[in-house]
C-alpha cells in the first residue's frame, strides 16, 4: 500500500496528537465542552466545505491524487473536510491553553505584587 495517499490524513492526526496535551496538561477544556466545540465548528466547516465544492467544480482548486486517499464526499476529498475540523480544533486548543496560562500568570503576578507591597 502506498502511504503517500494518506499523508494529508496523517498530518491532520499529527496536529491533533501534538495539541492534545494542551487539553490534558494545561486544562484547555475544549474537548470537555462538546456542544460548545460543535457550535464553534459548524459555520466555518459548512462555509469552507461549500466554498471548496464550488472551487473544485469550477476547476479553480484541485488536489494531487498522490497525496489524498481517494475517498470523497461528492467532489470534496475527505481530507479537506477533516482539515476544516482539525485546524480550528487545534487553534481553539492553543487559544484556550494560552488564555488559561496567562490567567494563571496574572494571578501569580498580582499575588507577587501584593506580597512585595506594589499593589493593593
Q: What is the pLDDT of residues 20-70, one digit of tens each?
A: 999 999 899 999 999 999 999 999 999 999 999 999 999 998 988 888 999
Distance of CA 86 to the CA centre of its chain: 4
> Is 62 exposed, middle or buried, given 0-12, 13-18 or 19+ CB atoms closer than 10 A?
exposed
The strand pairing partners of 76, in sequence order, are 73
Question: E-strand spans in the chain?
Answer: 72-73, 76-77
112 pLDDT band, cuts 50/70/90, is low
Q: Please give the model's pTM, rounded to 2 decimal places.
A: 0.82
- For residue 65, the model assigns a pLDDT of 87
| pLDDT number for residue 116 | 76
Amino acid at each position: 500500500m502506498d502511504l503517500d495517499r494518506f499523508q494529508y490524513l496523517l498530518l491532520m492526526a499529527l496536529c491533533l496528537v501534538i495539541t492534545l496535551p494542551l487539553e490534558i496538561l494545561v486544562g484547555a477544556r475544549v474537548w470537555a465542552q462538546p456542544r460548545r466545540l460543535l457550535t464553534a465548528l459548524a459555520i466555518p466547516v459548512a462555509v469552507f466545505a461549500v466554498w471548496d465544492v464550488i472551487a473544485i467544480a469550477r476547476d479553480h482548486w484541485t488536489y494531487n491524487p498522490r497525496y489524498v486517499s481517494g475517498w470523497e464526499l461528492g467532489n470534496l476529498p475527505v481530507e479537506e473536510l477533516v482539515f476544516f475540523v482539525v485546524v480550528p480544533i487545534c487553534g481553539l486548543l492553543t487559544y484556550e491553553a494560552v488564555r488559561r496560562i496567562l490567567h494563571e500568570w496574572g494571578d501569580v503576578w498580582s499575588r507577587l505584587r501584593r506580597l512585595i507591597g506594589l499593589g493593593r
